[in-house]
Structure 1
């Protein structure tokens, strides 16, 4: 299934590009200085978002970084292929193909929400090609917070799965709840427009289940990330009012995994930090890696 949605060029002023992976057609943007002279910055989104989430950050950084933002299969403008399971492991394998296809070397990787585990799974397999790590409001270890386990089980229940698939619950409720200021109607239309029907929302519905189902992968990452990436320079940009990834339980583990880190607190930002504090995030990336 392909998505028939045309972003507003005033909100999403980028050229759409496409990569034919082994599992389906991936949409992405690749914006930067002439000849892609800047260091590559690979931007991984979470649920239920897509590369549109990074629009302000890309505009702020594309004069000095090569900003690359893909949509996972089942998200954004990417294909919804039959036979794809939408597991985190599958997403990571496709994104690994994508990185290899572009031949990225010396790249910075940024992940938020599920973009954290996915970006780290890609990076640990290519550690020698990773220049630095940016993480915000995310994790890469097995879920051990009771509220998160409850959230996964509730969202995986038949009534909530129906709400996600039929009523687009994750877009309609979780994005407004996860932002400090409710997004405009035009912005919501861009999150809504790429999830037009239940078939298009299968990937969104799957991710809450993966909080528990992906335990094997997350357990592996909890060991491999510090071992293979822990010496890399890291930047943490953290929305301090996030209800999902509170700084208290999350940041100590991040600090321990990446001793050479800088933490930038975003005091008013909630879960979707790219919507709430894009200028602060862009400035922090320039300060740390520019």
Structure 2
């Protein structure tokens, strides 16, 4: 009997070790394949036919294509409309489809709405967990915007779409003409800090993998960070979860949570300092749309107000993913920022030359 128990224990140890090894693997690259070409104002790109469940959530005038930012690394882009370019950047763990309701509230004959998906999420290339660094994401997205071909943009960002998108603006400073920021942050930590208990917990090796890739799932928690949990029904969650889970590499959500800097020596902090310094130089029309029922980033509004003291501010009852709850307010903010750009450009054009 003792030998049987010992053998059983040995089997359990081996099986447990194998499971831990599987959970903590780095993951492999998965490069999507498109078909045909798509023409945009910026050129010709590799087309991508959306699966039925994704296509059903969009109107027929959307363009879906890939931009190859490095060999084997492709960013999936949704684009709709013609006119003033608006760059809308999502965060973790969603994708460009997060802005579909916002896009529906904007005139497609006045705005060119560009919604790229971060590497690792949606239909973009999946990479090993170790390649998810803020520097990489900024570089990849900067290359994408370069190829998409825009000379100026209104930038709209939320969650990781804040630092990634603003990092792109910092590397291409002539692009930025206006800002709409939502539940995000542009400051670097100056001392050890905690964004949330969830971020602290998943930063622990093995524990994080068990929580998000083993016994738990990030997707099952999306509704809990909303002001109205009903704004995240299963069919909406599927828009974000299925492209990741079906790819065979679902490492991005955990890697992106671990990418959040918790102190000045964190690997993301250098880029956050760069972004914070850049934001301090800005003099562009800005609007803040904030979800005050966000359990993670509602607290960040005061800091954002300090960085954009002239910005209009809309406080809402939404949670973290505002785009699902208050798209009309976000669309209105974009329109208002665009109007202020027009006014500013008109004033500049009419100004007396300085001799």
Counterpart-to-counterpart distance in 1, 2:155 and 2:123: 21
The 3-state SS of whatever aligns with 1:148 is coil
The 3-state SS of whatever aligns with 1:200 is coil
CA contact (8 A) 1:46 1:115 kept: yes
After TM superposition, the runs of 4+ consecutive aligned structure 1 residues lying more than 6 A away are none
Higher relative contact order (CA 8 A, sep 6+): 1
Q: Deviations over 1:140-164 (max 9, x none)?
A: 1124684416543311222222332
1:68 is matched with: 114
Equivalences for residues 185-204 of structure 1 within 5 A = 185-196=234-245, 199-204=248-253
CA contact (8 A) 1:231 1:259 kept: no
Q: Deviations over 1:228-258 (max 9, x none)?
A: xx211111110111111124xx223222222
The 3-state SS of whatever aligns with 2:303 is helix
Q: Among residues 253, 256, 259, which one is paired with 1:207 in the alignment?
A: 256
TM-score relative to the length of structure 2: 0.73
Counterpart-to-counterpart distance in 2, 1:246 and 1:185: 25
1:276 is matched with: 325
Counterpart-to-counterpart distance in 1, 2:229 and 2:65: 31
Equivalences for residues 90-101 of structure 1 within 5 A = 90-101=136-147
| Residue 230 of structure 2 corresponds to residue 178 of structure 1 | no
Counterpart-to-counterpart distance in 2, 1:198 and 1:159: 23
1:47 is matched with: 92
CA contact (8 A) 1:137 1:239 kept: yes
| Residue 79 of structure 2 corresponds to residue 30 of structure 1 | yes
Which structure 1 residue ranges, 5 or more long, are not aligned?
A: none
Q: Among residues 243, 264, 277, which one is paired with 1:223 in the alignment?
A: 277
Q: Among residues 135, 140, 148, which one is paired with 1:102 in the alignment?
A: 148
Shift of 1:198: 8.6
Count of matched residue positions in the alignment of Structure 1 and Structure 2: 280
| Residue 175 of structure 2 corresponds to residue 129 of structure 1 | yes
Shift of 1:281: 1.1
TM-score relative to the length of structure 1: 0.89
Shift of 1:52: 1.3
Higher alpha-carbon deviation: 213-222 or 122-131:
213-222
CA contact (8 A) 2:70 2:140 kept: yes
| Residue 75 of structure 2 corresponds to residue 19 of structure 1 | no
Which structure 2 residue ranges, 5 or more long, are not aligned?
A: 1-29, 34-49, 340-355
Shift of 1:201: 1.6
Shift of 1:87: 1.1
Shift of 1:219: 2.1
Cα distance change, pair 188–263 in 1 and its aligned pair in 2 (3 A): same
CA contact (8 A) 1:2 1:77 kept: no
Shift of 1:185: 2.1
Shift of 1:193: 0.8
Q: Considering only aligned residues, what root-mean-square deviation do their CA atoms show, in Å?
A: 2.2
Counterpart-to-counterpart distance in 1, 2:297 and 2:144: 28
